[in-house]
């Protein structure tokens, strides 16, 4: 799951200097704004075939938060 | 500022701070060094001395937008990049989304809507996770106003009725007294 999330972020952010780990801060380390975060969320929704409500987005502080949410939602879907 | 890694963002944030210093001096004769900078309960900075002066900063592309007021204010400016359908679907009603799909300039239509939403969130001092709050009514006397913006940009302010925005060239900021 982490690798899939990481690939989506890398494809979106496209920065050579970016080393994405679970602790990477979603806004500050990735250097994205709120619109870009929404676009990333839409990319996650398409990749994992889930709906991510806005109230969950506020909990996406670091990459591991996204991974944990998607793991949980994927498990529910199966 | 240290937390933001992109050089372009750092430059825009520095310009934003200079613009705030310029604007509060220009509008209220307030030097930022003498003003007491505090945070609201939502973590939104403002100056509390001698009287409350609120400000808000947004940057996108080559422009930085700053709003200052005696009352809370939220601003947003966005360069027209590509508009994604997924985000459009999230921020628009079904009717608005259908109109947007049929619009001749989808990017402009999308960003016009986005800046209206974003400045309202910033007025409230909340993040994107509260996007649905933008549909909640604003208090009396507070509205969202679209601002004239450079070609290829959309801009809006949430607060009391604004005066027209002024373009401040970069070199003018170098002489700002703090």
Range of the domain at B26: 7-164
Instruction: Give the number of domains in chain B.
Output: 1
CA atoms B154, A27, B57, B171: torsion sign: negative
Please return the burial class of B34, using the count of CB atoms within 10 Å of its CB with bins 0-12, 13-18 and 19+: exposed
Helix, strand, coil content of chain B in percent (nearest 5): 40, 20, 40
pLDDT recorded at residue B2: 41
Residue B174: inside a domain: no
Homologous superfamily in CATH for domain A2-77: ACP-like (1.10.1200.10)
Residue B66: inside a domain: yes
Scanning B29-162, the segments in alpha helix (DSSP H) are 85-91, 94-102, 106-124
* C-alpha distances out from residue B26 to A67, B53, B68, Å: 47, 13, 10
Q: A4-57 pLDDT, tens per residue?
A: 999 999 999 888 778 899 999 988 888 888 888 999 999 999 999 999 988 889
Cis previous bond, B52, omega within 30: no
Question: How does residue B1 score in pLDDT terms, banded at 50, 70 and 90?
Answer: very low
Dmax (CA) for chain A in angstroms is: 36
Residue B170: inside a domain: no
Are B118 and A59 a contacting pair at CB < 8 A? no
Nearest CB to B128 within list A29, A46, A57: A57
B80 pLDDT higher than 70: yes
ipTM surpasses 0.85: no
Residue B55: inside a domain: yes
- Sheet with B63-69: strands ordered across: B37-39, B45-47, B53-60, B63-69
Nearest CB to A31 within list B4, B129, B131: B4
Which residues of chain B are within 8 Å of residue A35 when distances are taken between CB atoms? 78, 87, 114, 118
The closest alpha carbon to B128, from A60, A57, A64, A52, belongs to: A57
Residue B125: inside a domain: yes
Q: Are strands B63-69 and B143-147 parallel, antiparallel or unpaired?
A: unpaired
Q: B29-70 pLDDT, tens per residue?
A: 888 877 788 888 888 899 987 788 999 999 999 999 999 999
Test the B interface: residue of A34, A39, A66 with most B CBs within 10 Å:
A34
Structure token pair of residue A2: 């982490």
Nearest CB to B5 within list A29, A39, A55: A29
Using a CB–CB cutoff of 8 Å, tell me whether A50 touches chain B.
no
Residue B178: inside a domain: no
Using a CB–CB cutoff of 8 Å, tell me whether A59 touches chain B.
yes
User: What CATH number is attached to the domain comprising B50?
Assistant: 3.90.470.20
């Amino acid at each position: 799951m982490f690798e899939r999330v990481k690939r989506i972020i890398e494809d979106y952010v496209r920065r050579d200097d970016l080393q994405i780990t679970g602790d990477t801060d979603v806004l500050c380390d990735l250097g994205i704004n709120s619109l870009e975060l929404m676009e990333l969320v839409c990319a996650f929704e398409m990749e994992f075939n889930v709906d991510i409500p806005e109230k969950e987005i506020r909990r996406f502080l670091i990459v591991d938060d996204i991974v944990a949410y998607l793991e949980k939602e994927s498990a529910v879907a199966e | 500022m240290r937390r933001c890694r992109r050089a372009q963002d750092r430059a825009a944030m520095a310009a934003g701070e200079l613009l705030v210093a310029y604007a509060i001096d220009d509008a209220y004769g307030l030097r930022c060094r003498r003003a007491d900078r505090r945070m609201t309960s939502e973590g939104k900075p403002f100056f509390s001395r001698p009287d409350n002066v609120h400000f808000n900063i947004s940057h996108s592309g080559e422009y930085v937008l700053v709003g200052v007021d005696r009352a809370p204010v939220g601003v947003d400016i966005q360069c027209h990049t590509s508009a994604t359908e997924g985000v459009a679907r999230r921020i628009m009603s079904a009717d608005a989304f259908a109109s947007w799909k049929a619009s001749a300039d989808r990017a402009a239509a999308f960003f016009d809507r986005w800046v209206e939403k974003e400045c309202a969130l910033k007025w409230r001092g909340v993040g994107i996770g509260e996007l649905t709050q933008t549909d909640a009514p604003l208090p009396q006397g507070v509205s969202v106003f679209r601002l004239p913006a450079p070609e290829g940009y959309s801009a809006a302010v949430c607060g009391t009725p604004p005066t027209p925005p002024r373009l401040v060239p970069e070199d003018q900021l170098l002489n700002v007294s703090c």
